[in-house]
Amino acid sequence: MTTTTDAPPTGRRPHPLTDEVLRLVAGVRAAAVEDGEQAAAEALDTDVARVRAAHAAVVVVGEKKRGKSSLINALVGRPGLLPVDADVATCVHIVVSHGPDGATVVLGGGPTGREVGLDDIAEYAALDPGARAPEHEDVSQVQVRVPAPVLAGGLELIDTPGVGGLVAGHAALTLATLDRADALVFVLDGSSEITASELAFLERATERIATVVFALTKIDQFPAWEEVQARDVALIAQHAPRYADAPWFGVSSRAAADALEAEADGELTEAAEERAASGIDPLTDHLAGLAEGADGLRLANLVHQATATAKRLSGLQVRRALSLSLSGEFAELVTKEKAALTALQGQNATWRQTLGERSARLEQRMRTELARRIEDLRKEVGDRIATGSSKVFDEVATDLPPRAQALWIEMDTLLRRELTALGEALLADLEGVEVDLSGVVPDAPERLAQLPEAARGQGSTSFAEQGVMAAGLGMGLGHLVALVVAPPVGILAGLGAVGFFSWRRWSKERGARSREDARRYLGEVTTRLNNEIPPVVAQAVTGAREVLGRQITTALAQEKDRLTASLAEHEKNLAAEKSALARRKAEVDARLKKRNELRETAEQLVRKLPAHRGESS
């Protein structure tokens, strides 16, 4: 594979430093091949491929009926793509990315799914309007592909379930996904100012993501939308000050759809007017800029890898130049370096002990953190059950699965960060050893295995059943009442009285049974979490420890082989004629100069590119 300097696909403007970075990487790769370092060249190819395949994930969030799905449809220029009916609510995350028309339904915790048509998205991604429950409960995500220009090059738009008053569990799940997102688009509309639940979500989001964009939809329906936006800005400055200066965009998804329709009819002037009135283009351009910022972070990581390779190649040429100078100290220096590497390869090497101790402590920390989070979940939901109505079981059955999934995503994200930090800390003690930490953390399921079914307990009787059991008593009471009133009236009065008392009893029992069933379901879910997550954590830590151990061992062996080759080359140099040595010394000096220039270019790019997430916003 050869590294090229092609720009990203048409549709998303490339980062302004993309060509410069890729030229640097191509130069470092060529130097690695020239120096016989084929493994280093292949590693750079892998890094470039990873950057090209990366996505800029933008999560679109808002309460039900704020117009999230309509906004995404407008951004990709496909009215009706995602379900937008007033009585339909999204119940899973929908990831919209670039590609030929199609959709993939991801089931349970599997990495793959099955293909469905775009017309079937609502069936798998939305609540059944009648039952207010998912039609397919095993669907964890729907991946939609359309060849929209705004998505070309890697931008992903993620439609989420309502996060405010709709379902609290969906808010927890969406918050968990923000740790892996590049930006958040928070959707409000011109009908009314931001709600308390929306502000509460933003307050919690400030800890997870720095880049936020506000979109105020339906500006064509509400003439006073600018006044609403002004009040929203003031409230956000008070409750979520980190986002006080975030950009706002007033948009009309309906006008954007009308523009497409007019364009299809050949009414180009009308289409341009509707497009301008929609406000969709400024938002589209801004999202392209956010994607560019995400590219900057990935390019910075690529430059880091190229810098490390160029540094090692320079060191190799320095060693060769020293050998060609016939210095008497060269053999002694290389022998010492080789002895040090031999010690690091030993079973009792300090780095092996450090790896074992730190990974054991990490696993214990993760178990403690998991126990704390599960207990917090148990207490929060338990308090809600204690004060809940007869509908609390249904509420908990709907709310708990996304909360459980959110807990897992948060633990998985934390685990990946901690394992990467472990690898970086370990390598800091092994100067000169290069390891690709991207492969350290093993893949883990994005979703827990199917949670226990939320089933009601046995033993409670329905109001109708209790009415039948009370019929005999009703007839008897009616007979007594008939002694003082007309018989038909007495019978009806008796049935009415018993019906009233039966209804009260049934209602009270229903509430108690609902709370009991909810507590049982909560216990089953938390037990499942306690049983399933710790083995995954242990497996991930063990796998990371093994991967790090293998990579470090391989890197040490490779460096030792290089030193052995250097000593052999030095022996040849000692026996060579001076004229031949001079020619080879000139070649090595030229190579060293070129590699030092690559290092200088890399260092300049490091200063230009963002060093951390916050600088890209």
Distance CA 160, CA 169 (A): 12
Strand partners, 157: 58, 96
Does 580 fall in a domain?
no
Distance CA 329, CA 335 (A): 10
What six digits make up the tokens of 181?
A: 């997102």
CB neighbour list of residue 345: distance below 8 Å, 6 or more residues apart? 553, 556, 557, 560
Q: Domain holding 162: CATH number?
A: 3.40.50.300
Does 416 fall in a domain?
yes
**Domain identity same for 49 and 61:** no
Strands 102-107 and 248-250: unpaired
**Domain identity same for 69 and 44:** no
**Domain identity same for 206 and 65:** yes
**Domain identity same for 491 and 502:** yes
Distance CA 514, CA 460 (A): 10
**Residue 6 confidence (pLDDT):** 43
Does 284 fall in a domain?
no
Q: What is the tally of structural domains in the chain? A: 3
Asked if 164 contacts 201 with a C-beta cutoff of 8 angstroms, the reply is: yes
Strands 212-217 and 102-107: unpaired
Does 286 fall in a domain?
no
pTM for the model stands at 0.67
**Domain identity same for 40 and 61:** no
Domain boundary among 216, 251, 278: 278
First to last CA, the chain: 34
Distance CA 90, CA 93 (A): 8
Distance CA 434, CA 1 (A): 22
Does 283 fall in a domain?
no
Distance CA 406, CA 414 (A): 12
**Residue 90 confidence (pLDDT):** 59
Positions in the chain short of pLDDT 70 = 1-14, 53, 85-91, 107-112, 126-138, 153, 162-170, 328, 347-348, 429, 431-451, 457-508, 577, 610-617
**Domain identity same for 505 and 485:** yes
Distance CA 214, CA 235 (A): 13
**Domain identity same for 526 and 393:** yes
* Domain range for 601: 1-53+292-324+586-617
Does 499 fall in a domain?
yes
**Domain identity same for 374 and 513:** yes
Asked if 57 contacts 180 with a C-beta cutoff of 8 angstroms, the reply is: yes
**Domain identity same for 422 and 551:** yes
**Residue 116 confidence (pLDDT):** 84
CB neighbour list of residue 597: distance below 8 Å, 6 or more residues apart? none
**Domain identity same for 394 and 532:** yes
**Domain identity same for 19 and 32:** yes
Strands 155-159 and 113-116: unpaired
CB neighbour list of residue 441: distance below 8 Å, 6 or more residues apart? 415, 416, 419, 420, 540, 544
**Enclosing H/E stretch for 363:** helix 350-386
Does 287 fall in a domain?
no
**Domain identity same for 355 and 428:** yes
**Residue 406 confidence (pLDDT):** 76
Strands 56-61 and 183-189: parallel
Maximum CA extent, the chain? 135
